[in-house]
Structure 1
């Protein structure tokens, strides 16, 4: 775990505590019938520090799981009991899934202290506010494509010196469909694509354009079957069949654009319409 500097001791972050421990066991699997599968996250926390446990008992702190799936713009912080299961719709997740076990403050603590602080903090008291982190364990990382292969998990993003700084392009002739971004555009992407208010707009632009390029590659190579050699193309054809979406023969840009818009609706238009 990379150490992060906090203005107060955090259990599990370096050596802020002498003997206390905080650990979490997290198991991830698919659950349910094939047409209604969910991602099951089973967890169990082990916390030996009595002062932090007391804050949990007093409802001033809680065990938590921060769940982030960058590729699908998903982020959630769950306040959870010491042990249990949580279920997420599998359709909301693809690519790399990060699960960060935490203990976070849910109330203000005016003078937090522990008999297990290391020598640097011994005898000190700290003001803790809601949202502050009290304990952290190693991040659990899983790749959803190994559980539930889909087209989106086969898209990767790179920074390219060959693309103008504020532009992006696509490479369709590999197993992974690649979005090549100019340096400045990649900075913008990194800054905004996990923010809930901006994610749908990016999905409707970058991912939609990516899908237009992918659909064009498939439609122009269908006659000789070249597209089937690429993993992303096989996955995209499967996705189209699942959604009962058909691509017309010899499609023009308008037809390809319409199909691409249908494919990104859940990431773009529908999310915006819920908040309208």
Structure 2
């Protein structure tokens, strides 16, 4: 849900305008998770006496709007209390979740006017409909991660597929979705399928295909500030970000990239080069 000031035809207490002066509205959330449920503890406060009076009279209430683009989940959690708790099933959200916090009108208000309005509104009142926004805090995001996630393992965030276009490159990559798609020309893909049937040669495929793709991705992450690169909503990015954190690398701080991306890639997928060389030696011995 994108917040746009122009949506509001009446004064709104917000962080981006001075419709309501010398006042603010702040909303905070603390989250915890059981096996099947997310639990949120909310705390809301406003220094605007006029709005507080409306809440006390139950003409307005606090609300959090959740929206998950992955699952299409949308829901509003609301209360007249400054402290309240709410829950939602863990399987209802997945990946990036946008959260907007508001104070909303609980009923129609036909002469809406507050002492805290900007002087430009002096002598004016407004018609407020039930559900209209009276105050808004900054938008935030929450990343919902499943307890058991098959994409936790680095190799599983890659998918190898044939590229059937007329001028297909031998090797190409698409990182715009939840998985990193490695595209091979049809001939190379046929060879890939044949080799993948031999379990002993699986590490070799990682070295030949996964490693260069992962190095390329790590270079993109490392130089993100220098390019138009914002993969926050992609699951593969969250998995790599989490694994890098375990290695002491903060993707938002270049100084923590003390190792080269080649070294990092090997650490992330368990030194496939050594295992591949051993597999080839054993393969030769068998022959």
Distance change >3 Å, CA 98–CA 218, structure 1 → 2: farther
Distance change >3 Å, CA 220–CA 90, structure 1 → 2: farther
Q: Which residue pairs with 2:18 in the alignment?
A: 15
Number of corresponding residues: 179
Cα distance in 2, alignment partners of residues 41 and 219 from structure 1? 50
Q: Are 1:20 and 1:49, in contact at CA under 8 Å, matched by a contact in 2? A: yes
Q: Which residue pairs with 2:131 in the alignment?
A: 131
**1:79 and 2:78 aligned:** yes
Unpaired segments ≥5 residues, structure 1: 156-162, 164-170, 180-216, 236-276
Q: Are 2:30 and 2:40, in contact at CA under 8 Å, matched by a contact in 1? A: yes
Deviation at 1:119, TM superposition (A): 2.1
**1:24 and 2:27 aligned:** yes
**Paired residues for 1:1-276 under 5 Å:** 4-5=5-6, 6-12=8-14, 13-30=16-33, 32=34, 36-80=35-79, 81-145=81-145, 148=147, 150=149, 176-177=178-179, 221=196, 223-224=198-199, 225=202, 226=205
Q: Are 1:23 and 1:45, in contact at CA under 8 Å, matched by a contact in 2? A: yes
Distance change >3 Å, CA 173–CA 130, structure 1 → 2: closer
Cα distance in 1, alignment partners of residues 194 and 38 from structure 2? 33
Distance change >3 Å, CA 178–CA 128, structure 1 → 2: farther
Deviations 1:213-249 (A, max 9, x none): xxxx9999465545896996xx9xxxxxxxxxxxxxx
Deviation at 1:175, TM superposition (A): 9.2
Distance change >3 Å, CA 173–CA 60, structure 1 → 2: closer
Deviation at 1:151, TM superposition (A): 5.3
Cα distance in 1, alignment partners of residues 193 and 22 from structure 2? 59
Distance change >3 Å, CA 87–CA 8, structure 1 → 2: same
Cα distance in 1, alignment partners of residues 116 and 100 from structure 2? 24
Distance change >3 Å, CA 19–CA 105, structure 1 → 2: same
Secondary structure of 1:55's match? helix
Cα distance in 2, alignment partners of residues 44 and 21 from structure 1? 14
Distance change >3 Å, CA 177–CA 48, structure 1 → 2: same
Deviation at 1:74, TM superposition (A): 0.4
Cα distance in 2, alignment partners of residues 220 and 73 from structure 1? 39
Stretch moving more, 221-230 or 118-127: 221-230
* CA RMSD, Structure 1 to Structure 2 (Å): 3.8
Cα distance in 1, alignment partners of residues 123 and 116 from structure 2? 10
TM-score, normalised by the number of residues in structure 2: 0.53
Deviations 1:99-132 (A, max 9, x none): 1110011101110111111122122111100110
Distance change >3 Å, CA 121–CA 110, structure 1 → 2: same
